[in-house]
Chain A
Amino acid sequence: VSGIAPAGDPAPAPLQPADGILIIDDNEENRYTFGRYLRQEGFDVHTAPTGAEGLERARRAPHPSLIMLDIQLPDTTGYELCRILKDDPLTASIPILHTSATYTGSEDRAHGLQGGADGYLTQPIDSRELVATVRALLRVRAAEQTARAYAAEWKAAFDSIRDAVCLVSPAGRIERFNRAFAALFPTAFVKPGDSFAVLASTLGNNLPLPLGEAQVGTRTEILLRGRWHRVANDPAVDEAGRRSGTVWVFSDIHSIREAERKLQDLNQELERRVSERTASLREAIHQMEQFSYTVSHDLRAPLRAMQGYSAALLEDYSGKLDEEALGYLRRIAKNAERLDRMIIDVLTFTRVSRETPLLAPVGLARLLSDVVEHYPGLHAPRVRLRIDVPPGLRVLAHESGLSQALSNLLGNAAKFVAPGVTPEIAVRTEEGDGFVRVWVEDNGIGVAPEYQARLFGMFERVLPANQYEGNGVGLAITRKAIERMGGRVGMQSDGRTGSRFWIELQKAAPTEETAS
């Protein structure tokens, strides 16, 4: 059997690594000629003159990429050998190209292809046709291998998903599923085509699965063999957007549920603790109130007696006492009075601290004139006072608290001046975005910057007691009262040229007569 057409064009660069071609042919000339053409094209060619030798070579790794198989062999037929090769998993994927003598008819061709061959060439074989056919078969093989690799990759990925995933056809039959899904049914062998509903009935879940078509797209949580699972069933759609079935996903959410339960327990514990603390705080506040009530009544009683008796002594026995004794007596009276003042101030501070003031619009100009009117120490000629506040300007405040705060600031401004200096006090306002700042500026002795931080603390005095009256509670009350109204207080001073105190509160709508 011979007759080879002349060679064709030079070959493109060989594939890497070179594909191995096995030629099984009893005709030595054929083996030589085919082999030469293919080698020229860069293929790695092996040859075998008999079926037995060829089979042995095909089964040995590295397996050939393609086998050229002569139909007529001394020990067997090409058809028979082809069947053997295709039945063997080791060689099943190797493309087989049958070659035969000219006299074989189309029946033989059909016979060969039906037997599993991938191509059929009849002599005389043109070298270009041979190479092109071999290349075409190798391309198909490469495409098949790629597809198989993709499929394997997807299968591996699908099986790596810890959630159990299952695709069910519109008819309710299982189409595909991953390993985790199969593992949901330790006693059943799950296979494609099984009824999903029948299989699901063996799960032993505590709640029914949403199997109805109307329930597609729902989420259910069920208990499976002691562990909570979240079940999602979503519509599956194909590339054209058509409904192609339902995807079921079973996720083990047991540890999440556990964590949630623990969180819930912790929250409950926290709530319990908070309410316990709240109760003990309420108790403490109640005791504090009881205490201040007691202070107000019982502690002031002996003090009042001291004041009363020293007054009685001064009134009834002043003729019998010398000036020194009278001096001592006046000191007793004065100290009793100071202590009483302190107690009253501390009570005021605690009251201001615990009360939540109801805020209402308060007209600043009116309030300031009320304060000045009730405070003789602010009247001319003792004090030069200038109030520059727009009529109708209102702030959100608790009126009596703000009144007390402004009295304190004005009183301090009038009090803390150098001896012989007439206090000059200016009150003005500054309007910001939603707030009003009231400035109280004086020509007093000021407060050095290093002491300013202490100024608004309880019982803080930054001046020697023998020069200026006061117990250091006034500004603490001022700050507390303003802060309870949601405002702020502050001051500026260089310690020489007076002080500038300020109170900042939320602005309220102006009164109507000045809204123009």
Chain B
Amino acid sequence: MTQAPPSSAVLLVEDNEDDIFLMRRLFRRAEIAFPLLVVTDGQQAVDYLAGANEYGDREKHPLPAVVFLDLKLPFLRGFDVLAWIRTQRQLDALKVVVLTSSIEDQDRERAEAFGVAYLVKPPQPEAIQAMLDSLR
């Protein structure tokens, strides 16, 4: 496992334990060096990205380069988080990828309107790798 710079962290916003486990496994097997950070609801995601509350320490909770964002989340939903991110100037460089089980056109179209990538679960290692490669 190679050392990645703190700015290369990946934040997964996901409430489903199985999806979290399978994503961690995907990272492990694909030998993706980026640290995978996880929050499990929309409010946590906003707090994390804002560095609020327990996420104030950027040493322990580095600002990620990529967010994999589930849409159906407790409290703030995926699109609420996305809308909030768009209001934050310091997050302009943040890459957001919607990772959802929804095959509804309305969700895909809404994500496209936000100008973010859209992946349907289950995530394929190649697709994840391609997303991360595009950061370099």
Contact = CB atoms under 8 A, between A and B. Distances in A.
Contact of B18 (A301, A344, A351): A301
A301 B19 contact: yes
Contact of B25 (A293, A312, A347): A312
Nearest to B122: A304
A291 interface: no
Given A304-B101, A307-B122, A347-B103, A297 B22 contact: no
Given A293-B102, A293-B104, A351-B105, 8 more contacts: A296-B101, A296-B102, A297-B101, A297-B102, A301-B19, A304-B101, A307-B122, A309-B18
A128 interface: no
A14 interface: no
Interface of B: 16, 18-19, 22, 25, 29, 71-72, 100-105, 121-122
24 contacts: A293-B102, A293-B104, A296-B101, A296-B103, A297-B71, A297-B72, A297-B100, A297-B102, A300-B101, A300-B121, A301-B16, A301-B101, A302-B18, A304-B19, A304-B121, A304-B122, A305-B19, A305-B22, A308-B122, A312-B25, A315-B29, A347-B103, A347-B104, A351-B105
Interface of A: 293, 296-298, 300-302, 304-305, 307-309, 312, 315, 344, 347, 351
Contacts of B22: 305, 308-309, 312
B103 A344 contact: yes
Contacts of A298: 72
A296 B104 contact: yes
A340 to B, nearest CB: 10
A108 to B, nearest CB: 119
Contacts of B29: 315
A336 B54 CA distance: 40
A319 to B, nearest CB: 15
A349 to B, nearest CB: 13
Contacts of B105: 351
Nearest to B22: A308
Contacts of B102: 293, 296-297
A298 B72 CA distance: 9
Q: Which of A301, A305, A308, A309 has the most C-beta atoms of chain B within 10 angstroms of its own C-beta?
A: A308
A304 B101 CA distance: 9
A305 B25 CA distance: 13
Nearest 4 A-B pairs (CB), nearest first? A305-B18, A308-B22, A297-B72, A300-B101
Contacts of B103: 296, 344, 347
A296 B16 CA distance: 15
A31 to B, nearest CB: 120
Nearest to B104: A296
A427 to B, nearest CB: 28
B125 to A, nearest CB: 11
Nearest to B71: A297
Contacts of A307: 122
A422 to B, nearest CB: 32
B117 to A, nearest CB: 19
Contacts of A309: 18, 22
Contacts of B101: 296-297, 300-301, 304
A400 to B, nearest CB: 9
A297 B101 CA distance: 5
A293 B71 CA distance: 12
A308 B17 CA distance: 12
Contacts of B25: 312
B126 to A, nearest CB: 15
B65 to A, nearest CB: 25
Contacts of B104: 293, 296, 347, 351
A308 B14 CA distance: 16
A304 B72 contact: no
Contacts of A305: 16, 18-19, 22
Nearest to B70: A297
A293 B110 CA distance: 15
Contacts of A300: 101, 121
Nearest to B106: A293
A309 B16 CA distance: 14
A293 B106 CA distance: 10
A296 B102 CA distance: 6
Nearest to B25: A312
Contacts of A351: 104-105
B100 to A, nearest CB: 8
A308 B18 contact: yes
B99 to A, nearest CB: 12
Contacts of A312: 22, 25
Contacts of A296: 101-104
B63 to A, nearest CB: 29
Nearest to A308: B22
A293 B102 CA distance: 8
Contacts of B16: 301, 305
Contacts of A344: 103
A302 B18 CA distance: 8
Nearest to B26: A308
A58 to B, nearest CB: 108
